[in-house]
Structure 1
Amino acid sequence: MKLRPLLLAASLAFSALLGPVGGVAHAERDNTPKELKHVGVDEHLDGQIPLDATFRDETGSMVQLNKYFKGERPALFILAYHSCPVLCGMVQNAAATAMKEIPWTVGKEYDLVVISIDPRDTPETASQKKASILAAYGRPGAESGAHYLVGDKTQIDRVASAIGFQYEYDERQGQYGHPAVVMLVKPNGQMARYLYGLEYDPRDLRIGLLEAANGHSISTIEQVILYCYHYDPQDGKYTLMATRVMQLSGFATVLALGSFLGIMWTRERRRKRAEVDARKADSLHHRTPVTEN
Structure 2
Amino acid sequence: MLVFNMLLNVIISFFLLFISLSSFAAERIPDEFVNTSIIEKLGESVSLDYELINSKGETVNLLTYLDKGPVILNFAYFTCPRLCHLIVDGMVKGLNSLPNKDLKNVQILSISFDHRDTLQSTQDFAKKHKSSLKSVDGNSDNWDFLFGSEDVVRKLADSVGFRYYFNEKSNQYAHSSSLIFLSSSGLITRYLYGIMFRPFDLSMSISESKKNNVISTVESLLLFCYNYDPNEQGYVLEAIKLMKVAGTVTIFIIIGFIYRLNKKG
TM surpasses 0.5:
yes
Cα gap change, 1:143/1:131 in structure 2, threshold over 3 Å: closer, same or farther?
A: farther
| Secondary structure of residue in 2 paired with 1:165 | coil
Match of 2:74 in 1: 78
Q: Distance in 2 between matches of 1:238 and 1:48?
A: 30
| Secondary structure of residue in 1 paired with 2:219 | strand
Is 1:100 matched with 2:96? yes
Contact 1:74 1:109 in 2 (8 A): yes
| Secondary structure of residue in 2 paired with 1:143 | coil
Is 1:134 matched with 2:130? yes
Is 1:109 matched with 2:105? yes
Cα gap change, 1:241/1:176 in structure 2, threshold over 3 Å: closer, same or farther?
A: same
Match of 2:51 in 1: 54
| Secondary structure of residue in 2 paired with 1:231 | helix
Match of 2:255 in 1: none
Cα gap change, 1:106/1:214 in structure 2, threshold over 3 Å: closer, same or farther?
A: closer
Is 1:173 matched with 2:167? no
The Cα shift of 1:107 comes to 7.5
Q: Kindly report which structure 2 residues correspond to 1:117-196, keeping only aligned pairs within 5 A, or say none.
A: 117-139=113-135, 141-196=138-193
Aligned residue pair count:
204
Q: Which amino acid aligns with 2:73?
A: F
Q: Distance in 2 between matches of 1:107 and 1:131?
A: 21
Q: Distance in 1 between matches of 2:168 and 2:185?
A: 36
Cα gap change, 1:66/1:131 in structure 2, threshold over 3 Å: closer, same or farther?
A: same
In the alignment, which of 42, 45, 70 is matched to residue 42 of structure 2?
45
Contact 1:50 1:65 in 2 (8 A): no
Contact 2:76 2:84 in 1 (8 A): yes
Match of 1:232 in 2: 221
| Structure 1 spans left out of the alignment, 5+ residues | 1-27, 217-225, 243-293
Q: Which amino acid aligns with 2:95?
A: M
Contact 2:102 2:206 in 1 (8 A): no
| Secondary structure of residue in 2 paired with 1:144 | coil
Using the size of structure 2 for normalisation, the TM-score is 0.68
Contact 1:231 1:237 in 2 (8 A): no
Using the size of structure 1 for normalisation, the TM-score is 0.62
Offset from partner CA, 1:243-281 (integer Å, 9 cap, x none): xxxxxxxxxxxxxxxxxxxxxxxxxxxxxxxxxxxxxxx
Q: Distance in 1 between matches of 2:151 and 2:102?
A: 28
**Structural RMSD (CA):** 3.1
Contact 2:184 2:212 in 1 (8 A): no
Q: Distance in 1 between matches of 2:82 and 2:30?
A: 17
Cα gap change, 1:238/1:40 in structure 2, threshold over 3 Å: closer, same or farther?
A: farther
Q: Which amino acid aligns with 1:169?
A: F
Is 1:214 matched with 2:211? yes
Q: Distance in 2 between matches of 1:199 and 1:111?
A: 19
In the alignment, which of 83, 88, 92 is matched to residue 87 of structure 1?
83
| Secondary structure of residue in 1 paired with 2:66 | coil
Larger Rg: 1
Q: Distance in 2 between matches of 1:189 and 1:238?
A: 29
| Secondary structure of residue in 2 paired with 1:126 | helix
| Structure 2 spans left out of the alignment, 5+ residues | 1-24, 229-234, 238-265
Offset from partner CA, 1:197-221 (integer Å, 9 cap, x none): 11111111011101100179xxxxx
Q: Distance in 1 between matches of 2:226 and 2:163?
A: 21
